[in-house]
Amino acid sequence: MSRMLPGTRALRTFEAAGRHLNFTRAADEVGLTPAAVSYQIKEIEDQLGVVLFIRTSRSIQLTPAGAVLFEATVQALETLQRAVGRARRMARGAQQLRVSLSPRFATNWLLPRLSQFRAANPTIELTFDITDEVRDFDADDVDIAIRFGSGRYAQTRSERLFEAVIAPVCSPKLIAASGMPKTPRDLFGQTLCHVECYTEGMLWPNWRMWMAAAGIDDFDDSRCVAFTDTSHVVEAVIDGGAVGLVDLAMIQNELAEGRLVQLFVIGVSVAEDYAYHLVYPQSSGQDPRVGAFCDWMLGEMTSAERPLALASS
């Protein structure tokens, strides 16, 4: 039986080729050349005695037999990945708690408070999966995640932490050069930057949205600079050449150290009910490690000061 089945690496290549229906894109994903992908597919076909793809000069398509094997391969690889994740969770010990969170949340919110958690929970060892990607708890070996969004995820429990309050900031150097702006219209002559991204289909607040919340309806946003990552906005602002819209909770270090200055007590949110949430599988509701981390995080929310009130819009 083992001789009749392709190896895991070959099946991964076949799955990528079947999903993309393009050997070049599949090759980029699995780290091979297009010729190597084609050769691996031909090896699988020879091994099984089945034609998997119809090849033309411009495209490839799965044969009916290839479609059957593709569906089974997707299911098998997913099952194996989840099993590997569960095995890793069992192997790393009962006292370890693996937390998935974004780089900026880790750097600017959690890590400065990590010693407090360790003092309150000396028997729990935190490890981190730092990424902006939404992880699968089983497949990616994660116990609990901090995610920004609606908090509604299938087969999970969610605890709301706090909303993202987006407001303008600049560097002290810019204030020294141009003076402290007194009204939002004073920003019209500045370079204005923001993050351009979507969270669960909702657009992250931009300058047009912030100006509208400030009561300005004739703002021209054609000269605004959009970045794909918050860290790029923060870098541009700290360098002194721009005013940026940022999530205040994620720049508390920079504000406390005086590297950034909040300009106006006007903030906007992504959407109603969108916030940072603790998310964990329903099956982990009785896990004492998850319970301890949730209790500590919610306790921090109670003691933390809210950066500002959201503007009514």
**Per-residue CA distances from 280 to 51, 137, 289 (Å):** 43, 8, 11
Asked if the model's pLDDT at residue 81 lies above 60, the reply is: yes
Which has the closest alpha carbon to 306: 248, 260, 244? 248
Asked if the model's pLDDT at residue 243 lies above 50, the reply is: yes
pLDDT band at 287 (very low <50, low <70, confident <90, very high): confident
Name residue, tokens 């094997």: 69
- Mean pLDDT over residues 277-295, rounded? 89
What's CA 269's distance to the chain center, in Å?
Answer: 18
For residue 77, what pLDDT is reported? 86
pLDDT band at 313 (very low <50, low <70, confident <90, very high): very low
Sheet holding 144-149, edge to edge: 125-130, 96-101, 144-149, 275-281, 156-162
For residue 31, what pLDDT is reported? 92
Asked if the model's pLDDT at residue 227 lies above 70, the reply is: yes
Could you report the per-residue pLDDT of 177-220, keeping only the tens digit for each? 989 999 999 999 899 999 998 888 888 999 999 999 999 999 99
Could you report the per-residue pLDDT of 148-187, keeping only the tens digit for each? 988 888 889 999 999 889 999 999 999 999 899 999 999 9
- Provide the β-strand partners of residue 98: 127
Percent of the chain with pLDDT over 90: 57
Which has the closest alpha carbon to 128: 159, 94, 91, 97? 97
For residue 92, what pLDDT is reported? 65
For residue 56, what pLDDT is reported? 83
For residue 188, what pLDDT is reported? 93
For residue 82, what pLDDT is reported? 76
pTM summary value: 0.68
Residues 282/89, Cβ–Cβ less than 8 Å: no
Asked if the model's pLDDT at residue 51 lies above 90, the reply is: yes
What size, in residues, is the chain? 313
Residues 183/168, Cβ–Cβ less than 8 Å: no
For residue 94, what pLDDT is reported? 65
For residue 246, what pLDDT is reported? 94
DSSP 167-230: EEEE-HHHHHHH---SSGGGGTTS-EEEE--EETTEEPP-HHHHHHHTT------TT-EEESSH
What angle in degrees, to the nearest 10, is found between the helix axes of 34-48 and 8-20? 110
For residue 1, what pLDDT is reported? 45
For residue 224, what pLDDT is reported? 94
Could you report the per-residue pLDDT of 82-122, keeping only the tens digit for each? 777 777 766 666 678 999 998 889 988 898 889 999 999 99
For residue 132, what pLDDT is reported? 84
